[in-house]
Amino acid sequence: MAGQLSIAKALNGALRKSLESDPKTVLMGEDIGKLGGVFRITDGLQKDFGDDRVIDTPLAESGIVGTAIGLALRGYRPVVEIQFDGFVYPAFDQIVSQLAKMHARALGHVKMPITVRIPYGGGIGAVEHHSESHEAYFAHTAGLRVVSPSNAHDAHWMLRQSIESDDPVVFLEPKRRYWDKGEVGEDPLLPLHAARIVRPGTDATLIAYGPMVKVCQEAAQAAEEDGRRLEVVDLRSLSPVDFATLEESVKRTGRGIVVHEAPVFLGLGAELAARLTERCFYHLEAPILRVGGYHAPYPPSRVEETYLPDLDRVLDAVDRALAF
């Protein structure tokens, strides 16, 4: 797997490996067969594994997740694709009320090894309902694991780890990064739920996941020119959260800034800020700040740059944190 791969190709390779290594793995979704999915993540897989393993489904999201639950009960390991973030809501009941709870309701007797892949987030100039960040809805639900990779290596390995997990995983793919390239190594390097310090620093910790990791790395790069050394942590897993890594970093830098695309209000950043405050209170030089979307519907694409956190908004928050 040497060489530079786009996130899209890395995901495709992960699905291919999973289909090869376990005959019980099946892919399901709209247009994932001949077309290879609207983002081509499943490109060529139906050709190689047959339409019995790579299943084009009716256009019915609740149906996709609901029947995947039945297949899992029968011993299959379904990987379902939701075409776009904004179309997962018809399946919301099946995900949060059925999928998330089945294991507990059966007192552990059944497992739900289902991966729900969702391309999420904005920044690609799409029309309505094609740019949402709904991670907080899912992370709020016990029984689900929620993860989001930010680079090709993680995209490949985190997807394989998700598919191997006996728990249901909501796998959020940062669609604006699909075409970003990176090295995909031979080993996962980290367990699925570990956070990773992608850039060490001393003055403040930027905490991000998925599409915002790159923005934070760029912000840290820019800040360095002003003599500020920012640490960047890629959360990778939104449930569970690797608080140990976050805590260690924030205690060291004394400042934390959480960056995500989703609205700030009741978003994941609220939870991270609250917990980090509880745990790092005496080490903090400033309140944990949040940078994210506004409490407004995702805007038309011509103004999405206003909505999405960018370099300037992140650096502005860094200024505020350092001014305390």
Partner 1 sequence: MTVKSTSRARKKAAPGVPDPARAGVGAEPELVQLLTPEGERVEHPEFPLTVTPEELRSLYRDLVLVRRFDAEATSLQRQGELGLWASLLGQEAAQVGSGRAMRAGDYAFPTYREHGVAWCRDVDPLNLLGMFRGVNNGGWDPNEKNFHLYTIVIGAQTLHATGYAMGIAKDGADDAVIAYFGDGASSQGDVNEAFTFASVYNSPVVFFCQNNQWAISEPTAVQTRIPLYRRASGFGFPGVRVDGNDVLAVLAVTRWALDHARTGQGPVLVEAFTYRMGAHTTSDDPTRYRQSEETESWKAKDPILRLKAHLEKEGLADEAFFAAVEAESETLGLRVREGVRSMPDPDPTLIFDHVYSEPHPLVDEERAEYEAYAASFEGGEHH
The residues assigned a catalytic role are: 130
Task: Indicate the residue among 114 and 118 with the shorter CB distance to partner 1.
Answer: 114
| φ/ψ of residue 22, rounded to 5 | -140, 110
Q: How far is the CB of 306 from partner 1 (least distance, A)?
A: 34
Task: Quote the tokens at residue 40.
Answer: 């081509």
Query: Residue 142, interface with partner 1 (CB under 8 A)?
Result: yes
Pattern of binders to partner 1 over 154-183, x per CB under 8 A?
A: -----------xxx----------------
167: which strand partners? none
Task: Quote the tokens at residue 273.
Answer: 């800020």
Query: Residue 205, interface with partner 1 (CB under 8 A)?
Result: no
Query: Residue 57, interface with partner 1 (CB under 8 A)?
Result: yes
**Strand 25-29 relative to strand 77-81, pairing:** parallel
Whole-angstrom CA distances from 208 to 69, 153, 190, 268 are 31, 17, 17, 10
Q: Which of 109, 186, 296, 303 binds partner 1 (CB under 8 A)?
A: 109
Q: How far is the CB of 144 from partner 1 (least distance, A)?
A: 9
For residues 234 and 150, the answer to whether their CB atoms sit within 8 Å is yes
* Binding segment toward partner 1, per CB under 8 A, in 100-108, 172-180, 260-268, 282-290: 100-108
DSSP for 231-246, written as a single string = EEEE--EEES--HHHH
Q: Which of 54, 79, 163, 241 binds partner 1 (CB under 8 A)?
A: 241
Query: Residue 77, interface with partner 1 (CB under 8 A)?
Result: no
Task: Quote the tokens at residue 32.
Answer: 């994932």
Residue 195's nearest CA partner among 260, 150, 143 is 150
Query: Residue 133, interface with partner 1 (CB under 8 A)?
Result: no
**By the criterion CB under 8 A, which residues form the site for partner 1?**
26, 52, 57-58, 60, 62-63, 65-76, 90, 93-94, 97-98, 101-112, 142-143, 145, 165-167, 193, 239-243
